[in-house]
């Protein structure tokens, strides 16, 4: 397995420059993973399949879904791609490399775990700041246009927010200067995680059923369907930041009511 990955990597670095791989390669991988993982949820919603696992009963209109896609393509090309190009020298300066040998799995997994924890911490505070009145009204309300999220809405946000919260995603790699393959793997996992958090479905096989500290769709969907001053659940990946700082109280209350089977009280909320 290791040799297959290594020979594949050798092919890449002999055919493409470091800059091409780090900027265009990253952009290509991001687009592929994002749309491949996000688009199925649009079709699920339209077809009404697996609807018993849908968190909200409300559906998005086709026009709302299409608006999200066209806006995303525009922002990806005009914001994300330039950010990747501009931040390339910073990553290089901090020691990012694409040469062989590839890093060990131990190094890759430790770095990625660190990125998840750091991202979640920075995202939590950044997201709480975005929920203050002025910033919510002028910036973050764009992301909240979709009160019934679907996978692709995960990256639907004001360009200022893309830059602001994008910082949480790149600060970990920027300070540790990882191998490019680690950066790609981090990007893939982070995209899959945020698409899942916005997918609008809670399946029996959803990761949050098995990982106690993982938030997932149920946790973040609550953030979208409540009024912005009351929502809480600000974290991106894990649940402990909201628990420590007491911003998950409404969500916990709802969960407790649900598990008590108190349907009447639930409807009155
Ligand atoms: Zn928010
Ligand atoms: Zn969201």
Q: pLDDT tier at 262 (50, 70, 90 boundaries)? A: low
Expressed in angstroms and rounded, the spacing between residue 129 Cα and the centre of ligand 1 is 10
Nearest residue to 38 via CA among 154, 139, 209: 154
**Res. 265: pLDDT tops 80:** no
What's the pLDDT tens digit per position in 56-101? Answer: 999 999 999 999 999 999 999 999 999 999 999 999 999 999 999 9
Ligand nearest to the CA of 154: 2
Expressed in angstroms and rounded, the spacing between residue 241 Cα and the centre of ligand 1 is 15
Q: So where are the chain's domains?
A: 2-99+106-268
Instruction: Please provide the average confidence, as pLDDT, over all residues in the chain.
Output: 94
Expressed in angstroms and rounded, the spacing between residue 7 Cα and the centre of ligand 2 is 38
Ligand nearest to the CA of 198: 2
Expressed in angstroms and rounded, the spacing between residue 140 Cα and the centre of ligand 1 is 7
Q: pLDDT tier at 7 (50, 70, 90 boundaries)? A: very high
For the chain, percent of residues with pLDDT exceeding 70: 97
Expressed in angstroms and rounded, the spacing between residue 197 Cα and the centre of ligand 2 is 8
Expressed in angstroms and rounded, the spacing between residue 87 Cα and the centre of ligand 2 is 25
Ligand nearest to the CA of 195: 2
What's the pLDDT tens digit per position in 113-151? Answer: 999 999 999 999 999 999 999 999 999 999 999 999 999
What's the pLDDT tens digit per position in 17-63? Answer: 999 999 999 999 999 999 999 999 999 999 999 999 999 999 999 99
Nearest residue to 172 via CA among 154, 190, 156, 160: 190
Burial (Cβ within 10 Å: 0-12, 13-18, ≥19) of residue 261: exposed
Would you call 179 helix, strand, or coil by DSSP? strand
Expressed in angstroms and rounded, the spacing between residue 125 Cα and the centre of ligand 2 is 14
**Sole residue written with tokens 């493409």:** 16
Would you call 210 helix, strand, or coil by DSSP? coil
Nearest residue to 139 via CA among 169, 155, 159: 159
């Amino acid at each position: 397995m290791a040799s297959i990955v290594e020979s594949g990597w050798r092919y890449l670095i002999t055919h493409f420059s470091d800059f091409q791989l780090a900027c265009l390669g990253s952009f290509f991988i991001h687009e592929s993973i994002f749309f491949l993982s996000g688009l199925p949820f649009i079709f699920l919603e339209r077809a009404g399949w697996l609807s018993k696992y849908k968190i909200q009963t409300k559906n998005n209109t086709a026009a709302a879904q299409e608006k999200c896609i066209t806006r995303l393509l525009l922002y990806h090309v005009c914001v994300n791609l330039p950010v990747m190009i501009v931040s390339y020298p910073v990553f290089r300066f901090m020691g990012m490399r694409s040469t062989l040998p590839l890093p060990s799995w131990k190094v890759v997994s430790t770095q990625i775990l660190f990125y998840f924890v750091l991202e979640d911490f920075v995202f939590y505070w950044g997201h709480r700041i975005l929920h203050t009145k002025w910033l919510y009204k002028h910036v973050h309300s764009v992301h909240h246009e979709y009160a019934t999220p679907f996978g692709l809405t995960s990256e639907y946000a004001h360009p200022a927010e893309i830059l602001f919260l994008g910082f949480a995603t790149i600060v970990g790699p920027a300070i540790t200067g990882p191998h490019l393959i680690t950066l790609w793997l981090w990007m893939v996992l982070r995209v899959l995680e945020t698409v899942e958090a916005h997918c609008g479905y809670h399946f029996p096989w959803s990761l949050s059923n098995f990982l106690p500290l993982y938030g997932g769709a149920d946790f973040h969907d609550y953030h979208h369907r409540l009024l912005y001053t009351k929502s809480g659940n600000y974290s991106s990946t894990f649940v402990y930041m909201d628990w420590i700082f007491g911003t998950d109280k409404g969500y916990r209350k709802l969960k407790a009511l649900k598990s008590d089977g108190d349907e009447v009280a639930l409807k009155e909320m």
